[in-house]
Structure 1
Amino acid sequence: MFKFWAPAILFFLSLHVQHIGFRSIFTPRYIKTRFIFFDVMSLSKKVVQVEKLYQELDRRLALFRSKSGLSCASECGRCCKKPDIEAWAIEFLPLAYRHCLEGTDQPLLNKIVESPDQICILFSPFILDKGFCNHYNYRGAICRLFGFSAVIDKYGQRRLSTCKTIKEQSTKTYIKASEMAREWEDMPTYQYYYQKLQEIEPSLCHERLPINKAIRAALGYVMNRFYYENEDYISENPPKAG
């Protein structure tokens, strides 16, 4: 196969060299602009990896909820209103990637920059059927894990991590779910999924940030690979938000 394509590749390369000059193809700018496509492809693979990890997590969480009977209180959303939620930037890589593809990344970035509120910008009190989230399918790992997963304590035991409301309103179910969390081998844990996220892109996992800053960091990471490495795009579309 390579023997068949090699002459054609060399022929078109020779035409390209004749057009722009031999030395030009080795300039940093030429190499950077020509290979940005492969950088975006690499980014898309990371996004797919995060999405697949979330699909696996959602499946295990749904199974745990079904087996344990544990569920959120009706129309609650208290955890979403907490101003001190922290997350890794990588948790919102699919969200940032989607907005860049749709061309809505700058409005979202502006919204984060201009918002004085510490509550998650994705929170919407009017979306009752999707956990009060206007980007429910693109929510972070912390949003998925909290309430229905376990942490591994210093003794190596799995301990259910859930909210005060569930503990108080569904005491019997909570006790049953806690026992299941310790015994069920397929129980999702924070440690496992955050380790998997770190393996995908360590640079986006070095610090837990307030949730809006985590979303902003994810946007910056994706926008940098879509636009800022392309000098022609920068000159025509300077960034508006600092």
Structure 2
Amino acid sequence: MSLVEKARAVQELFSELEEEAKTFHQEGGLGCLSGCGFCCSNPKVPASPLEFLPLAFDLESKGIADEIAKQLAMEEEPGSCVVYRKLSDDGKKGFCGNYSQRGLICRLFAASARRNQKTGRKELITCKPLKEEKAEAYRVVSEKINDTMEIPMASQWYTRLSDIDDHLNQLYPINQAILMALELVLTYRFYTQGEEGTAQ
């Protein structure tokens, strides 16, 4: 499978998840807080180069992949996601600058669950601000996902991502993962000279 084919496979996976997440949000009425960047501002968010291949191809098609790769390579300390746009000094308010090409971790947050190892119960993967500001909705949804409400299980989606390329699905701080994806795409384009088209 070529790099372009892997990126397309990742996009197809994301499209499937999008449908499941949409159904969950409609039924549960619970999702990320509007304008919140609490998670996006965290430089330690774990991500893989594989989940950011679509983003890397998108940035390459816009002619800015090399510039962003150089910017990331110069970071002395891991910073918050390079496509995150801050709207507050502390970085806790903002928005994604390339929402359609966001990674798996971004898509799963507040739209998936993990299973508690001790109790076996499903736990919504979300943040402190959402739990505090929508406490009652969070409580209700937490009960429903352990009853009849369907919710994407994060582990299953990571397994499916690994099935595309286990090696490229290793986790790193988010900007390092994006840099690795950009370097892969730039190298790929250098050798193929765009013969296969973009991953879009």
Q: TM-score range by the shorter chain?
A: 0.7 to 0.9
SS at match of 2:33: coil
Q: How does 1:1-242 map to 2 (within 5 A)?
A: 42-116=2-76, 118-126=79-87, 132-154=95-117, 156-184=120-148, 186-205=150-169, 207-227=170-190, 229=191
User: In 1, distance between residues paired with 2:69 and 2:148?
Assistant: 41
Instruction: For structure 1, list consecutive stretches of 5 or more residues without a partner in the other structure.
Output: 1-38, 234-242
Name which one, 1 or 2, has greater alpha-carbon Rg.
1
Higher relative contact order (CA 8 A, sep 6+): 2
Would the alpha carbon gap of residues 99 and 164 (structure 1) be closer, same or farther in structure 2, given more than 3 Å must change?
same
Q: Is the Cα contact below 8 Å between 2:52 and 2:178 reproduced in 1?
A: yes
Equivalent position of 2:91 in the other structure = none
The residue type equivalent to 1:142 in the other structure is: I
1:164 maps to amino acid: K
Of 188-197 and 176-185, deviating more is: 176-185
For 2:181 and 2:73, the matched residues in 1 are separated by 14
Q: Which has the higher helix share?
A: 1
Work out the CA distance in 2 between the residues paired with 1:47 and 1:57. Answer: 15
Please state how far the C-alpha of 1:156 moved relative to its aligned partner: 4.5
- Which stretch shows the higher mean deviation, 194-203 or 71-80? 71-80
Amino acid at match of 1:94: P
Letter paired with 1:172: E
| C-alpha distance in 1 between matches for 2:51 and 2:148 | 26
Q: Deviations over 1:78-118 (max 9, x none)?
A: 11111211111111010112223333221110121234561
Query: 4+ runs of 1 displaced by more than 6 Å?
Result: none
CA distance in 2, matches of 1:107, 1:184: 48
Deviations 1:31-73 (A, max 9, x none): xxxxxxxx7xx22221111111111111111111111111323
How many pairs are equivalent?
A: 185
Question: In 1, Cα distance between the equivalents of 2:6 and 2:176?
Answer: 20
SS in 2 for 1:65: helix
Kindly provide the amino acid, as one letter, of the partner of residue 50 in structure 2: I
Q: State the TM-score, normalized to the length of structure 1.
A: 0.70
2: distance between equivalents of 1:224 and 1:182?
A: 46
Write the deviation string for residues 174-197 of structure 1: whole angstroms up to 9, x where unpaired: 011112222346411110111111
Compute the displacement of 1:172 (Å): 1.1
Question: Over the residues paired in the alignment, what is the CA RMSD in angstroms?
Answer: 2.0
Q: 1:67 to 1:182 in 2, by over 3 A?
A: same
User: Cα distance 1:165–1:222, how it changes in 2: closer, same or farther (>3 A)?
Assistant: same
Q: Distance in 2 between matches of 1:103 and 1:184?
A: 47
| 3-state SS in 2 of match to 1:82 | coil
How far apart, CA to CA, are the structure 1 residues paired with 2:147 and 2:10?
A: 27
